[in-house]
Structure 1
Amino acid sequence: MKSPARLAAERKGRQGERLAAWWLRLKGWSILDRRVRSRAGEVDLVARRGAMLAFIEVKARASGEALDLAIDERRLARVAAAAESLAHLYLRPGDDMRIDVMLLAPGRPPRHLENVWHGG
């Protein structure tokens, strides 16, 4: 059974994912999937705009300052590994693929960081 703190964190994470998906749709993206799991890890959102397929990690924090520490190379590597293992489910001929991050904090517009993973 999950602790109340863990349940609250999951609710906050899901709320952040809903907000990120809403913002992406406003920017012309189609949300293909949410919280997709693979042996390598989990991808919060899978989105498409034209021939671009994006695997998106969403980070919601209580402050903008906390966002600066929300994502690191280890987390990005896990998302990239999950995306690589899931890509065959979503890629179409001619598509490009990338890893993006959405950063969310109260009182700030969502920050969409594009193509953040270049291997490593």
Structure 2
Amino acid sequence: MNRRLPRPAPVRRPKAAWRQAKGGAAFKAGHAAEWIAALWLMLRGYRVLGFRLKSRAGEIDLLVCRGHVLAVVEVKRRATMEAAMLALKPDQHDRLIAAGEAIRRNRPGLQRLDLRIDMVALAPWRVPRHLRGVERR
């Protein structure tokens, strides 16, 4: 009686619990930062059109408009306000422009608006900073 034993299932290593907790906490903090930024912009007269919009070019944290301006808003939350204001890199700026153009191209009501890249910088115990028309560095 030479029976063949079944092969054991491959061992899948679970992510370390601390790493999962860290990732979940960062995800929640990012969502909270985006809500704070949206409220801040609404207080200043902007209308929020969308949260976390995805396109082939990338993801837009917030899409807002006021008057004839359509603003693609990147939200950056860091330990200091200075670090948050410097967190937008040139390649990310290019992706935001491409994503904003893609969203605007697919929505006829937005095509007449001027596209602009904005940023909201957040830091603990500091008033949010809204930077309008962020240029590529």
TM-score (norm 2): 0.77
Q: What is aligned with 2:79? A: 62
Decide which of 35, 39, 51 is 1:22's aligned counterpart: 39
The structure carrying a bigger strand percent of its residues is 1
1:40 and 2:57 aligned? yes
Structure 2 portions without partners, runs of 5+: 1-14
Q: What is aligned with 1:91? A: 110
Q: Per-residue displacement from partner, 1:6-59 (whole Å, max 9, x unpaired)? A: 111111111010000000000000001000001110000000111111010001
Q: What is aligned with 1:114? A: 132
Q: What is aligned with 1:3? A: 20
Q: What is aligned with 1:104? A: 122
Structure 1 portions without partners, runs of 5+: none
Runs in 1 of length 4+ with deviation above 4 angstroms?
Answer: none
What is the CA distance between 1:63 and its match in structure 2? Answer: 2.1
What is the CA distance between 1:3 and its match in structure 2? Answer: 2.0
What is the CA distance between 1:68 and its match in structure 2? Answer: 4.3
Larger Rg: 2
Tell me the matched-pair count.
118
Identical pairs, percent = 42
Q: What RMSD over aligned residues (CA atoms) do the two structures have, in Å?
A: 2.0
